[in-house]
A and B are shown apart, each in its own frame.
Chain A
Amino acid sequence: MRTAPPPGRNRMRLRLLSVGSLLAFVLLWQLCVAPEGVSDWRIPRIMLSPPSEVAALFVDKLTNPKPDGETLVVHAWVSMQEAFLGYLLALLVGIPLGLAMGWFRTVRGLLRPIFEMIRPIPPVAWIPLTVFWFGIGLGGKVFIIWMSGVVPCVINAYIGVRMANPTYINMSRTYGATDWQVFTRACIPSALPMVFGALQIALVYCWITLVAAELLASDKGIGYLITTGRFLGRTDLVLVGMVSVGLTGALISLIIDRIEARLLAGLRR
């Protein structure tokens, strides 16, 4: 449920507070890092680059392929492709599977034990196998990301169906609805809010797994950027990678939020 925004002046105050705290954080960060070659109470440059350097390198990397081989834009694009592909496949497989497992006893009996066994394995643990199966390119990443995204999709869809109001189901039954009709007309619509929750959760899982997967085995992407920064001793490069991860993740989250608001306007009743 969306709560009403606070009235005019309070809203301004809250915005100023957010901006202010961000600025304070960046300022503190800048002041705590020692200049090149100086060695006092401040943090040495090799351990943490100041925001000024990070920002400068960020802007530079937008067009400069050195020192890691590609521009930031290319890395970000590669990462997003992997993430989205894995994410979409996770939705396409996980949600119908979870819905079916929630309603059909045979499906549940067949698949739940396997699911419960695979679920605790961290997606990253699949990397050695996928390197053998797919190499270190797109296919392997998508598989690992898919593996991490499919779990919340199945769980949320499953719970959504299990929590469907039994009165709606009974009411449908008295009209002579078949099992399939009850499933499609009463259970699935009931489960939709939970399914949309899965969309957000799976996205976070997928994005986090992507970076981890790229850290361990990759030749392009933001995670690869961070690894290269580490190998070259370029802390500023590492930080540029981290900031990019954060920014892109936040952006995608925002987009999904907007889509959800539009689609669920009909359902959030």
Chain B
Amino acid sequence: MSQQNPQGVAVANLTKSFAELTVLDNISFSIARGELLAFVGPTGCGKTTFLNCLAGLTPPTSGSILIDGVPADPTRHNLAYVFQEPTALPWLTVRENIAYGMRIKRLGARVIRERLDTIMALVGLADMGDLYPNQISASMMQRVAVARAFAVEPDLLLMDEPYGQMDIKLRFYLEDELVRLWDTLKSTVLFVTHNIEEAVYIADRIIILTPKPTTVRSEIVVDLPRPRDVMAPEFLAIRREVTELIRWW
């Protein structure tokens, strides 16, 4: 699903080494604005390092990451990153947590309030606004982190296996919620996972990574309408295709 608009994220020859160890090796890809791109790879293939480079937390050894033609910079661009661990700040309420990213970016009070109302209604957290993280479950903490990320309306939203710890029913529920947020707010999302079914369920396109030194093995377009039926033959066909590409490592 490519857009006419050339703006988006363009990653060229991204390489990251730690001393002798090359983790990321010459990764190149692009994401169009508003696309939901999934990265699938084995555990330990450097997915977190990859996301850290994109988020500007670690500098790449070589290569470029351009957002709308400009090198990616968290102080300049609107980035958001949902980590694998829960990152709800324990001293803030749910509402204050979701507003945290917006406050750092110094958005106006009215804007913050409006976006809070929209997002909290979208994710069904509206009546839990005054609870503290130690009063809610871990899955709700992740939903708070996801809501917080979407609230800043990022140019690029990075997600690092955010639903890895959840059971199947909750996972589907949250994946639906993610797609709903993405579709309503028209965000650009880069979602990293090792769960093939999850990738096929939510993504427009799937990029398959190799083990270390990690590079792009293959790319698959998922052109199915949403909501997707995980038992439908087309779904299973794509899923099999991805699995076989991964199995040939």
Task: Give the residues from 141 to 199 in chain A that come closer than 8 angstroms, CB to CB, to chain B.
Answer: 167-168, 170-178, 181, 185-186, 189, 192
Q: Which residues of B contact A269 (CB under 8 A)?
A: 90-91, 132-135
Q: Which residues of A contact B190 (CB under 8 A)?
A: none
Verify A178–B75 contact, CB threshold 8 A: yes
Question: Which of A170, A181, A267, A269 has the most C-beta atoms of chain B within 10 angstroms of its own C-beta?
Answer: A269
CB-CB under 8 A for A175 and B91, given A170-B57, A181-B104: no
CB-CB under 8 A for A175 and B133, given A170-B57, A192-B91: no
Interface size of A as a range: 10 to 19
Q: Which residues of B contact A175 (CB under 8 A)?
A: 74, 79-80, 100-101, 104-105, 152
Main SS at interface, chain A? helix
Verify A185–B91 contact, CB threshold 8 A: no
Q: Which residue of B lies closest to A268 (CB)?
A: B134
Q: Which residues of B contact A109 (CB under 8 A)?
A: none
**Is A113 in the interface zone, CB < 8 Å from B?**
no
**Is B197 in the interface zone, CB < 8 Å from A?**
no
Q: Which residues of B contact A8 (CB under 8 A)?
A: none
Docked complex Cα distance between A167 and B80 (Å): 14
Q: Shortest beta-carbon distance, A90 to chain B, in Å? A: 25
**Is B89 in the interface zone, CB < 8 Å from A?**
yes
Q: How many residues of B contact A (CB 8 A)?
A: 28
**Is B55 in the interface zone, CB < 8 Å from A?**
yes
Task: Give the residues from 58 to 74 in chain A that come closer than 8 angstroms, CB to CB, to chain B.
Answer: none
Mark each residue of chain A from 51 to 88: 1 if its CB lies under 8 Å from any CB of chain B, else 0.
00000000000000000000000000000000000000
Mark each residue of chain B from 183 to 221: 1 if its CB lies under 8 Å from any CB of chain A, else 0.
000000000000000000000000000000000000000
**Is A266 in the interface zone, CB < 8 Å from B?**
yes
Verify A176–B83 contact, CB threshold 8 A: no
Verify B89–A189 contact, CB threshold 8 A: yes
Docked complex Cα distance between A100 and B125 (Å): 36
Q: Shortest beta-carbon distance, A112 to chain B, in Å? A: 27
Q: Shortest beta-carbon distance, A51 to chain B, in Å? A: 47
Q: Which residues of A contact B83 (CB under 8 A)?
A: 167, 170-171
Q: Which residue of A lies closest to B91 (CB)?
A: A189
Task: Give the residues from 53 to 86 in chain B that come closer than 8 angstroms, CB to CB, to chain A.
Answer: 55-57, 74-81, 83, 85
8 new A-B contacts, CB < 8 A, other than A171-B83, A266-B91, A267-B90, are A167-B83, A170-B57, A170-B81, A176-B79, A176-B105, A181-B104, A185-B103, A269-B135
Name B's A-contacting residues (CB within 8 A).
Answer: 55-57, 74-81, 83, 85, 87, 89-91, 100-101, 103-105, 132-135, 152, 158
